[in-house]
Each structure stands twice: as structure tokens, then as C-alpha cells.
Amino acid sequence: MDALNYIDGRHVAAAEWLDNFEPATGTAYGRVASSDAGDVDRAVAAAARAFPAWSATPSTQRSRMLRAVARLIEREKDRLARAEAVDTGKPVTLAGSLDIPRAAQNFEFFADAITQWQSEAHATDDVALNYTLRQPLGAVACISPWNLPLYLLTWKVAPALAAGNCVVAKPSEVTPMTAHLLGELCNEAGLPAGVLNIVQGLGPRAGSALVGHPDVRAVSFTGSTRVGREIAAQTAQRFVRASLEMGGKNPNVLFADADLDEAVAQTARAAFQNQGQICLCGSRILVERSVYDDVKERLVAKARSLRIGDPLDPATEQGALVSRQHFDKVMGCIEVARQEGGRVLCGGRAARVEGRCRGGWFVEPTLIEGLGPGCTTNQEEIFGPVATLQPFDTADEAVRLANATRYGLSASLWSRDLSRAHRVAAHLHAGIVWVNCWMLRDLRTPFGGVKESGVGREGGAEALRFFTEAKNVCVKL
């Protein structure tokens, strides 16, 4: 099946094509449109044409449209989950239980949020009344990554549409299929032509043309720090607002007084879910020295017990890495860890999967110890099923180790001492800190990183603010 562009309410092919690979088999199973600046021009023009009518549509009516899309995503859950598993290599069970339900929730949440969003009014004594209007921007760009394709695409598209903008979305060329299918569902839901447009293709070609387009009023991006830096420079030249959610090298801090059964189980999940290909994965595991050996032994056992296999098998817990290029990168990072003196406790090799997946890009869940905070392995984002273990003696040392990177996306800490947990959380350089949990999200809360992990916030009212302009109206009494 080919993944097409979706422009002005229709699926259309681009002039050129890229192969679309199934990571579990290592073979191409379809094509994806390779868009150029002309395709982007047509998509942005369609969004600009649709904007006056869509922005004037009452919020209650926009809400109903978003809710209709949510219902269709729920109806097509199995189809979308399979498409996601084939495209990304992730287990179909994970896609069906997390990615696709969350995509529907994103539309559902912002369908509610836009009807409940409050304005502000300020009486200037008895002289004037000031009130604030939040108005949509126009055509906006939403650029989403390959690791959670539909989940993160809808996380951006839903608030932009709810606020009255028209969207040109650019999914990853590595995982284009659920974006293609979303276009089908939006048509069925009755979304007006041009309100949502999707351009497929390469970042340097389609993505760069979209970010630099003179009629794009805002850019919401999730991806690597390197690309985020390029987008920041490009948008700054035109004074276009940008929200950038980028890389992470996230710490997971275990104190000796934690519920170790729960902490170890969730730490393993945080390290290896989606083959470690989540920006929020806890890839640096910091353990209080008195329980270090115990935790290490338990984590190794957990990692070795994970079932690696065909992503379409419901029993599979670990699927394939998303591409050959990424597989090679992760294997190279493991070799660097060995060269730096790291001891591989488990994994460290390509995984062998028989049957139809014998040519796929699988890596064993890998744990490494013996490396200091300044080494490449503990500084650079690997974005695979690879985590390191480091011991610490005091809370202050744990904080220093946790903060010892240029990233600051998320952190987790585990302790029964909630007073200490609050103190430590306040000192961690991270946009979100989980205490005695991981990946527990409330869609009302702001989300984003600090340092080189991001600029701006998504989620809840923060997303609606990003996609609108504040206008103050002052009326003299």
C-alpha cells in the first residue's frame, strides 16, 4: 500500500517515491510519496484557503468534528494498530493498548478543552474594561517523529484544529502509514477540505520547505535536538513561533527505601518499552549503592525475560528497531560503550528471530555498567533498548549524576520518603519528573523539556495558547 499526500481533502501522489520498509522483515512493503517544495506550496495554499471559514466555525461545531475523528480512530483501532506495528516494528499489542487509544484521546481531550477555555477580563477601576481574545494564527506546521507516529501527530494536530487553525502536517518518512489513514478518517468525519493537510517525504526536502514557507505562522516539532536546532534558526529569521520537543537522556533514580518490586518492574519498562525508542525512556539508571547489586540482578533478569519476536504476534514484548540505519547506530553505540570500558551485563547483540522476521532489525535488551557520567554512552542519546547503571551514595550525588547531561526532558525517582522525593524533584533538570511511576500522563498538564531537550510546552491550555495569538481589547467606560 502506498502512503500518499493528503491535500485539500484528497489523497494525491507526489512526483517521486521512497520505499517504505517493514522493520521486522527488513524488506520494502510499499511506497511513500516524496514531496518537494511544490507539494508543500499546494498544501499550505489549501490550508490558507480553508482558514477563514474554519476559524469562523463555532468552537462547539469544531468540537463535534474532532470528536467524530476520535470515534473513527476507536472504530479502526485494530487496523491502525496493525499498520503501526508493520511500519514501526513495535509490538502490535503495544500499539493497540497505547498508541492508538491515545491518538483518539488527543482528539477527544481537545474537543472538550476548546469548549471550556476561559477568557480573561480586567476592570481598570471605573475607567475601562480590558478583555483578552485568543485568536487562531492561520496555517501552522506540525512535524512529528517516527517512534510514536499517530500518537504524537494527533497530539499536535488536535489542539491546532481545535483552536481554529488549519494544519499542514509532516510525519516521518520512515513511518508514514497511519498519517495516510488519518486522512481517510478525517474525510469520513466530514472535516472540511484544506483544514488538515499531510505532506509525506524527507525532512531536508519537504520538512525544510514547510518550516521555511512564508505563509506558515507556527511550527510544532518533535524530534532530534540536531533538527530542532535547525528549525529554531530557520523560524527565528522570520520571527515565527516554534515549539520544540527534542532529545532526552533521562535519569531513573532508585533510592534504597523504594518499593523495589515496583521500582524494578517500572524501571525495566522505562528502559525497554518500544525498544527504548521513546524520548521519555529512562536510559540512565541511578541506584543507591546499598541496593545496587540487588537491583542490578533483578533488572538483568527482567531484561533477559522479555520476549523478542514478530511484532504482529500478540505475545511479543520487544519488536524491531525502526530502520536499518537506526539499527546500525544502536549497535555502534553498544560498541562505543565496550570501548569506553563498559561491562555488558546482558544483551549487547543483534537478536535472532526466526520465520518471516529472520531479516529484521532486532537488538537484545542491553544493560551496561562501569561507566562514568562524562562518557559518551552516558551523554549521547542512543534511542534504543540500551540503558546504563550507576551507583550513588547520597541524594546530592544522585542529583549531580542525574543533571550531568545537556538534556533535560524527563526524570523518574523512586522512594517511600516523599519529603525527600519532593526535594529531589525540585532540583532535577527536567520538564517532567515522575515520582514512584513512569509515563503516567494527565493531558491537562504542560509537557516539554529544558536545556537541549526543548523550548516551549505542549498539552492542555499550553497547546491552545501556542496555537493562538492573544489580543487585548480595551473599552473605555
By annotation, the residues acting in catalysis are: 245, 279
DSSP 12-66: E--SEEEEEEETTTTEEEEEEEE--HHHHHHHHHHHHHHHHHHHHS-HHHHHHHH
Nearest of 281, 304, 11 to residue 147 by alpha carbon: 281
Cβ contacts of residue 317 below 8 Å, gap of 6+? 91, 306, 307, 308
Cell representation of residue 436: 514512584
**SS3 breakdown of the chain: % helix, strand, coil, rounded to 5?**
45, 25, 35
What is d(CA 132, CA 118) in angstroms, rounded to the nearest whole number? 10
> How many CA atoms lie less than 13 Å away from 396 in the CB half-sphere?
0
Nearest of 325, 96, 326, 143 to residue 243 by alpha carbon: 143
**CB count in 10 Å sphere of residue 290:** 12
- List Cα–Cα distances, 329 to 335, 345, 382, 446, in angstroms: 10, 20, 8, 32
Check: CB of residue 263 under 8 Å from CB of residue 284: no
Residue with cell 528471530: 353
Nearest of 459, 469, 470, 381 to residue 220 by alpha carbon: 459
What is d(CA 64, CA 84) in angstroms, rounded to the nearest whole number? 26
What is d(CA 219, CA 143) in angstroms, rounded to the nearest whole number? 8
Q: What 3-state class would DSSP assign to 367?
A: strand
Cell representation of residue 64: 463535534
